């Protein structure tokens, strides 16, 4: 389960909220992201370092949705906007905000830091991933083979 991977990365690997979500989702959903791609989340932790913007766990979740539901770019997969909007609207409905500082005020504690926020984001992400399993695009190579009758040329 995604939540188990989240706990491992956040508590045992000491990753920030954004890194935790993307690393855990990469493992759970076999997103195929390499370490360079995963490192891109480093600057998104703590509300992009200033706290007054989007929570890093939510940024990591949006990155995971993008990696799973986009084959090349957003314009070729317009449903990614709907998925991201749905994720953020659901999270806001449950917790009142998507911004880091107010979420820290609600959920952060000195012992486990923002683990609860990261877990809440992971739960919502997992629901959306499962609900939309049928929308996962085929890899570009698979689409190409289907178009050429399976010859792979």
Per the domain annotation, does 26 fall within a domain?
A: yes
Q: How many domains does the chain have?
A: 1
Q: How confident is the model at residue 143 (pLDDT cuts 50, 70, 90)?
A: very low
Contact in structure between 56 and 16 (CB atoms under 8 Å):
yes
Q: Provide the 3-class DSSP secondary structure of residue 138.
A: coil
Per the domain annotation, does 109 fall within a domain?
A: yes
Tokens of 16: 């920030």
List the domain range (segments joined by +) for residue 118.
2-147
52-100 pLDDT, tens digit per residue, is 999 999 999 999 999 999 988 888 888 899 999 999 999 999 999 999 9
Per the domain annotation, does 67 fall within a domain?
A: yes
Per the domain annotation, does 152 fall within a domain?
A: no
Model pTM score: 0.88
User: Looking at residues 4-21, what average pLDDT do you find?
Assistant: 97
Per the domain annotation, does 153 fall within a domain?
A: no
Per the domain annotation, does 106 fall within a domain?
A: yes
**List of residues 6+ apart from 35 with CB closer than 8 A:** none
């Amino acid at each position: 389960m995604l939540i188990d991977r989240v706990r491992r990365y956040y508590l045992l690997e000491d990753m920030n909220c954004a890194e935790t979500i993307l690393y855990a989702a990469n493992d759970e959903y076999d997103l195929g992201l390499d370490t360079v791609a995963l490192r891109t989340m480093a600057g998104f932790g703590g509300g992009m370092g200033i706290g007054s913007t989007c929570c890093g766990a939510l940024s990591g979740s949006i990155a995971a949705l993008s990696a799973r539901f986009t084959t090349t770019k957003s314009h070729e997969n317009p449903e990614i906007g709907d998925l991201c909007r749905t994720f953020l609207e659901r999270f806001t409905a449950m917790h009142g905000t998507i911004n880091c500082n107010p979420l820290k005020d609600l959920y952060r504690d000195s012992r486990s830091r923002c683990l609860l926020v990261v877990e809440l984001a992971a739960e919502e992400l997992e629901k959306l991933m499962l609900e939309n399993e049928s929308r996962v695009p085929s890899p570009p190579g698979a689409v190409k083979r289907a178009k050429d009758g399976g010859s792979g040329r």
